[in-house]
Amino acid sequence: MMEDISWLSARDIQRHLTRRREEIHSYRAEEAPPAPLPWKVDVLEVTDSTNDEVWRRATPAETARVLFAERQTAGRGRRGDAWHSPVGENLLLSALIRPELEPRYWPRISQAAGLAVRQVVDDALEQTGSQLKWPNDVYFDGRKIAGILVERRESPDGMANAAAIIGIGLNVNAQKESFPQDLAFPATSLRLESGRNWDRNEVAARLLFSLERYLGRLDRFSELREEILGCSYLLNREVTAETPRGSLRGRVTGLAENGELLLETAPGAETIMLYSADRIRVIEE
């Protein structure tokens, strides 16, 4: 119902973020990110896709800009699927950063973003139960709670101004009936898992804080990889993957140096490294 909605506000998000940073510095300084990111926060009632709009708004000098929208008219997921979310219930955002990383390391960004979102889900639900489904879907108890779409954009003058755009759809206050009936995967939200309504401004601030923590560790990816493997939905499971090389079947054995998925196609056979895949399905044993 409309009166239940607390609308997003850039000022409230900034306020919660400042408070979160102060809390962590006072009580759990060891968890503080190496450097806070200078987020420029905007909130829009409607846009086509936050991934596109944040790029249109960014100036080359900006290193951390984030755009939230209450509604998207052309929200998209990976594989070109549409991303649906009812107005005022969830978080739809895109964070633009300009990492000082060689292009071959950029896949780490989407892995770090997955960990950042997962941390917010676990903290909110006071659990350690959420999982990452490669490349970066966040699952809770076998249901999808967040999706992430990372895109690289370059200005006409090339890599010097390249940006990573981290698009995140996090289901916060969605109810069962909020999800389309024909979803390809079961979905859930913080509200469905906790039985309570969440202040989206606070969750948004937690997400920005978590992003700065994990994005600040891209140069120590082996640590992040251990963390990802510890919460992997696919590790040691038999899967089918639709890939640019065709359909593959195998057991997931781990992650490579930059977060690529390792797939053993038969016991003792060649291990294949997947850089991308359209659809990954677990084969239930």
Say if CB 147 and CB 128 are below 8 A apart.
no
What's the closest the beta carbon of residue 180 comes to ligand BTN, in angstroms? 14
Tell me the residue number closest to ligand BTN, measured at CB: 147
For ligand BTN, the binding residues in 83-112 under the rule CB under 6 A are 83, 92-94
* Residue 66: CB minimum distance to ligand BTN, A: 11
**83 or 106: CB nearest ligand BTN:** 83
List, in order, residues 6 or more apart from 10 with CB less than 8 Å away: 41, 42, 43, 68
- Should residue 189 be labelled a site residue for ligand BTN when binding is judged by CB under 6 A? no
**199 in Cβ contact with 11 (< 8 Å):** no
Q: Which is nearer to ligand BTN, 135 or 251 (CB)?
A: 135
Q: How many residues line the site for ligand BTN (CB under 6 A)?
A: 20
Q: Give the integer Cα–Cα distance in Å for 114 and 21.
A: 21
Among 167, 210, 221, 252, binds ligand BTN (CB under 6 A): 167
| 17-76 binders of ligand BTN (CB under 6 A) | 49-51, 72, 75-76
Of the pair 139, 198, the CB lying nearest ligand BTN is at: 139
User: Closest distance between ligand BTN and the C-beta of residue 166, in Å?
Assistant: 9
- Is 137 one of the binding residues for ligand BTN (CB under 6 A)? yes
Q: At its nearest, how many Å lie between ligand BTN and the CB of residue 232?
A: 17
| Least distance between ligand BTN and beta carbon 21 (Å) | 24
- Work out how close the CB of 160 gets to ligand BTN at its nearest, in angstroms, rounded to a whole number: 25
Taking the complex as a whole, the smallest distance from the CB of residue 74 to ligand BTN amounts, in Å, to: 7
By the rule CB under 6 A, 78 interacts with ligand BTN: yes
Which residues contribute to the site for ligand BTN (CB under 6 A)?
49-51, 72, 75-78, 81, 83, 92-94, 137, 147-149, 167-169
